[in-house]
Structure 1
Amino acid sequence: MLPSPEFFLVAIPAVAVVGLSKGGLGGAFALIGVPLMALVIPPMQAAAIFLPILIVMDMVALWAWRRDNDRRTLLILLPGAVFGIALGWATSSYITPNAMRLVLGVITILFVLRYLVQTWKSYRGIEIHPRPHSTPLATFWGTIAGYASFVSHAGGPPFQIYTLPLRLDPRSYTGASVRFFAIVNAIKVIPYFALGELDTSNLELSAYLLPVALVSTLAGAWVVRLMKPQVFYPFTYGMALIAGSKLLYDGLGF
């Protein structure tokens, strides 16, 4: 039995904006999806419906960015992410998603403000060098990304906090991001099944929305390929600011 028309009126735009994000067009779009769909269905059900869709989007994005990656970035972040997912599973009944959104929102906004200060310094002639990799920082932010992704599909901001100061080539950055979240989402299937969230009815709703996911993910990848670094990084930081503001707003319970 098909869901109500109201569901599709909200769910199709929600999946479309997440697809654009999955294609590489900024993490803020991904944060809009679940809250938007939650206007017509319970939030936990919205998250469960999105997980299979995210995995399909990941497959499309992996194909679109198959030639681009930063192996070092990917490998240094994944161990922490796996630990974060396990931690989220173990503590899912104790810590609310809104509490995590609140913390992530504050941290992300501070991170963008730091970028704005650095940009101002560069205009003043003070050179800002890319930050080198750091295993302790990667482990910390990878853990936060894995945990936030598990509890609210909001792993983008902590991932950006670690990776954007590296100043990678935009294509390498996007390729590493796509691979990171493809692996994270695949791992999340196990605890979601264990918690009983991926039942037949939710999987059926996910299937109805898959065509939207495929088209929008490819569209996002096409737009990113046209961007120069001078446009890509300000745009991505702008998306991070929107994401942080959205997380803060949701975390405060407005």
Structure 2
Amino acid sequence: MPEVLDLTFFALAIPAVIFAGVSKGGFGSGAAFAATPLLALILEPGAAIGLMLPLLMLMDVTALKPYWKRWDGPAAWALILGAVPGIALGAALYRVTDPDVFRLLIGVIALGFVGFQAARKLGLYDPAARHMSLAGGRVAGLVAGLTSFISHAGGPPAAVFLLSRGLDKTTYQATTVITFWAINILKFVPYAFLGIFTWQTAKADLFLIPFAVLGVWLGVWAHRMFSDRAYFALTYALLTVTGSKLIWDALT
């Protein structure tokens, strides 16, 4: 974290947090983790994920009410149970890797998300064409737990499983909300144990709380009113640029 929370920090952090909140609220679902690569451009990777986790947990709680009990319970449980060993693996990796490795991983995950979504849009890959069992959901949960620990990017592996089950738009979003509410709670303890949270990240979070809540409200409203095509186009552009920059920084 920068020693001073200056204009440059807030100029990037405020839009990133609103962006994540909109996705958590159900508009452009799965793109909430775009905030982490954006923040990792100006912060150490550990500070970026530590800053975002409390805000994501707040977003989860804010989004629970409009989607309460509208989720697919067995699917959510499969993902949550699978995420536990994935989170443990992420914690083990964090202890033995340096920040550049995490920059590289965050960048690769960002570009991987763009590739996953592009393949779906072009018809090269259709998760809905295959019905995954609950055992497959636990495998998807393991991957989601790992990528969520590294960069709050558990959305794509969870989406592969959930889309295969043919859920309607709202059930899909509700299942995502309850799943990552639980996964983020599970991540909190290892984050604290590993020293990922600091007083500076806590101070920054206090300033950013209103923007997190605002983003979720905007997302819930937009989920009901609009197609998320334009939002995803913006997400892809941001992630392509930031992912490429993080990979470049890590390798050079």
* Shorter-chain TM-score range: 0.7 to 0.9
Aligned-residue CA RMSD in angstroms?
A: 3.2
Aligned mate of 2:52, from 50, 53, 60: 50
- In the TM superposition, residue 99 of structure 1 has moved relative to its aligned partner by 3.5
Match status 1:249 vs 2:244: yes
Taking the aligned partners of 1:235 and 1:32, their CA distance within structure 2 comes to 15
Deviation track 1:175-217 (CA, whole Å, cap 9, x = no partner) reads 0000111111111110010011212221111111000101111
Deviation track 1:99-144 (CA, whole Å, cap 9, x = no partner) reads 465267447625742563379x9xxxxxx97533413321221111
Instruction: Check whether the contact 1:64–1:218 (CA below 8 A) recurs between aligned residues.
Output: no
Question: What amino acid sits opposite 2:161 in the alignment?
Answer: Y
Deviates more, 1:24-33 or 1:216-225: 24-33
Long gaps (5+) in structure 1: 122-127
Q: Specify whether residues 110 and 5 from structure 1 end up closer, same or farther in structure 2 by C-alpha distance, changes over 3 A only.
A: closer
The residue aligned with 2:173 is 174
Aligned identity (percent) is 30
Taking the aligned partners of 1:53 and 1:225, their CA distance within structure 2 comes to 23
- In the TM superposition, residue 245 of structure 1 has moved relative to its aligned partner by 4.6
- In the TM superposition, residue 75 of structure 1 has moved relative to its aligned partner by 1.4
- In the TM superposition, residue 40 of structure 1 has moved relative to its aligned partner by 3.3
Deviates more, 1:167-176 or 1:43-52: 43-52
Match status 1:73 vs 2:79: no
Secondary structure of 1:93 counterpart = helix
The residue aligned with 1:102 is 108
Deviates more, 1:2-11 or 1:44-53: 2-11
Taking the aligned partners of 1:164 and 1:111, their CA distance within structure 2 comes to 12
Corresponding pairs, count: 243
Instruction: Check whether the contact 2:37–2:106 (CA below 8 A) recurs between aligned residues.
Output: no
Long gaps (5+) in structure 2: none
Query: When the two structures are superposed, what TM-score results if normalisation uses the length of structure 1?
Result: 0.81
Deviates more, 1:6-15 or 1:37-46: 37-46
Taking the aligned partners of 1:45 and 1:107, their CA distance within structure 2 comes to 22
The residue aligned with 1:125 is none
The residue aligned with 1:207 is 206
Query: When the two structures are superposed, what TM-score results if normalisation uses the length of structure 2?
Result: 0.82
The residue aligned with 1:33 is 35
